[in-house]
Amino acid sequence: MILFFSCITIKINLCFPSIPSSLKTVSIDGHFDFEQVEHAAKDFGNRYSYLPLAVLYPKSVSDIATTVNHVWQIGGGSELKVAARGHGHSLQGQAQAHRGVVINMESLQGLKMQVHTGNFPYVDVSGGELWINILRESLKHGLAPKSWTDYLHLTVGGTLSNAGISGQAFRHGPQISNVYQLEVVTGKGEVVNCSEKQNSDLFYSVFGGLGQFGIITRARISLEPAPEMVKWIRMVYTDFATFTRDQEKLISGQSTFDYVEGFVIINRTGLLNNWRSSFNPQDPLQASQFKSDGRTLFCLELAKYFNHEDMVLVNQVSHS
């Protein structure tokens, strides 16, 4: 009986060679890590935790394509999965791969970020670039992305694969509506350029596709002139009906605000007065009368972009 089971074990090992050993034969400029992989089994949602076999730290798009093609060549029988991980802000385990390969997109190197000015300005960036870096670089040219997320320390590929909803979406659409072109590594390991007119099926499938149609390795993102100043306002509600009515009014207006975002919080331990103070410090009476600890609150964050010569007009909008 012992001999029988030993033969079975040998047969299985012959038919299905060790996947990590197979990955070690892949010729890349970057490297695989087979030891320190625990961090790739976590994400912002904290609902799922899938431990990968390896984490790839690519230096080039070729590293990603070669790895994906290697997995493709192994075949579906291995059940080896590949997932791209940016800043790990996914909620449903999108950036995880159970006993698979997680690609650390933030280590991706290649052409430097390139800002193009003109009548239709844009920036070419790596899929592993953070939005905060795009903003900093584009501002040097007096430009800024049209649509972004409220948290800017996220990767381009990560947010585009989730559509990229922002406070500017009611004016410019989500982030995926402001991209001219993509470079994508397909499930076969092919590097493909796509746009509205070139490989359009792949272009529209990748947007909001949660990484199921390819890995975004480069994007051409639309820019617009950046304002000189921004006025930021926060409004807090205890009544949901009033909150939604005001939000609908603000996003339907033509000359109101440029950024409108609504969210819900439970005000515990004085969160309201400690996080981005909601009251004028010269009006402590108003703050003391706002009894909200432990209550569900509804918040609107608003921003109006303007230049110095528009100061009077902006104040009129803010009080209307």
Q: Do 170 and 211 fall into the same domain? A: yes
Dist CA 198 CA 37 (whole Å): 37
Phi, psi at 246, each rounded to 5°: -65, -40
Nearest CA to 92 among 212, 257, 271, 234? 212
Q: Do 41 and 128 fall into the same domain? A: no
Give domain status of residue 6, yes or no.
Answer: no
Dist CA 95 CA 154 (whole Å): 13
Give domain status of residue 298, yes or no.
Answer: yes
For the domain that residue 153 is a member of, what is the CATH number? 3.30.465.10
Q: Do 149 and 220 fall into the same domain? A: yes
Catalytic residues: 89, 150, 261
Quote the number of domains for the chain. 3
**Helix (H), strand (E) at residue 217:** strand 215-225
Give domain status of residue 2, yes or no.
Answer: no
Q: Do 200 and 252 fall into the same domain? A: no
Give domain status of residue 129, yes or no.
Answer: yes
Alpha carbon of 37 to those of 66, 89, 139, 271: distances in Å? 20, 17, 36, 35
Q: What pLDDT is stored for residue 55 in this prediction?
A: 96
Q: Do 100 and 188 fall into the same domain? A: no
Question: What is the Cα gyration radius of the chain?
Answer: 24
Give domain status of residue 217, yes or no.
Answer: yes
Q: Do 204 and 119 fall into the same domain? A: yes
Q: Do 233 and 305 fall into the same domain? A: yes
Q: Do 96 and 47 fall into the same domain? A: yes
Q: Do 305 and 211 fall into the same domain? A: no
For the domain that residue 240 is a member of, what is the CATH number? 3.40.462.10
Query: Where a domain ends, among 172, 201, 225?
Result: 225
Contacts of 213 (CB under 8 A, 6+ apart): 184, 186, 187, 202, 205, 206
Q: Is-above-0.75 flag for pTM?
A: yes
Walk along the chain (320 residues) and give the pLDDT tens digit of each residue.
Answer: 333 333 333 333 334 446 667 888 889 999 999 999 999 999 888 888 999 999 999 999 999 999 999 999 888 777 789 999 998 888 888 899 999 999 999 898 767 899 999 899 999 999 999 999 999 999 999 999 998 888 889 999 999 998 888 888 888 888 889 999 999 999 999 999 999 999 999 999 999 888 889 999 999 999 999 988 888 888 888 899 999 999 999 988 777 788 999 988 876 655 555 555 555 555 554 555 556 666 788 989 998 888 766 666 656 655 55
The whole domain housing 283 covers 229-317
Give domain status of residue 12, yes or no.
Answer: no
Q: Do 258 and 176 fall into the same domain? A: no
Give domain status of residue 210, yes or no.
Answer: yes
Query: Where a domain ends, among 51, 83, 107?
Result: 107
For the domain that residue 42 is a member of, what is the CATH number? 3.30.43.10
How far, in whole angstroms, is CA 206 from its chain's centroid? 13
Give domain status of residue 92, yes or no.
Answer: yes
Q: What pLDDT is stored for residue 162 in this prediction?
A: 86
Query: Where a domain ends, among 63, 79, 107?
Result: 107
Q: Do 236 and 133 fall into the same domain? A: no
Q: Do 132 and 213 fall into the same domain? A: yes
Phi, psi at 130, each rounded to 5°: -85, 145
